């Protein structure tokens, strides 16, 4: 997962350097529950979401980051 919508927020998964850049542009850590931030995710500010070019740029960065990650390993199912 590299992006999603939660309530009225658009959240993106970004590497650390891009998260820092996003924070300087007004993004905040994504917290689906107060005090419980999700690692690597930021919530875009309304100013970015309302600008299609800016939003597309950030979504592209998130997609590129997710594509660079190794596949998630399946956990073995417990035997009954």
* Total number of domains constituting the chain: 1
Residue 36 in domain: yes
Residue 26 in domain: yes
Residue 42 in domain: yes
Residue 73 in domain: no
Please give the Cα distance from 13 to 62 (Å, whole number).
Answer: 5
Residue 74 in domain: no
DSSP calls for 4-70:
EEETTEEEEE--HHHHHHHHHTT-EE--SBTTBPPTTEEEPPHHHHTSHHHHHHHHHHHHHHHHHSP
The whole model's pTM is what? 0.82
Residue 76 in domain: no
Q: Residue 79: which pLDDT band, with cuts at 50, 70 and 90?
A: confident
Residue 78 in domain: no
Q: Residue 75: which pLDDT band, with cuts at 50, 70 and 90?
A: confident
- pLDDT tens digit sequence for 40-57: 999 999 999 999 999 999
Range of the domain at 30: 3-68
Please give the Cα distance from 12 to 44 (Å, whole number).
Answer: 8
């Amino acid at each position: 997962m590299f992006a999603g919508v939660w309530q009225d927020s658009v959240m993106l998964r970004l590497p650390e350097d891009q998260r820092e850049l996003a924070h300087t542009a007004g993004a905040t850590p994504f917290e689906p529950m107060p005090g419980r931030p999700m690692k690597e995710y930021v919530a875009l500010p309304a100013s970015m979401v309302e600008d299609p070019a800016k939003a597309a740029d950030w979504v592209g960065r998130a997609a590129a980051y997710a594509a660079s990650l190794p596949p998630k390993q399946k956990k073995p199912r417990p035997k009954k």
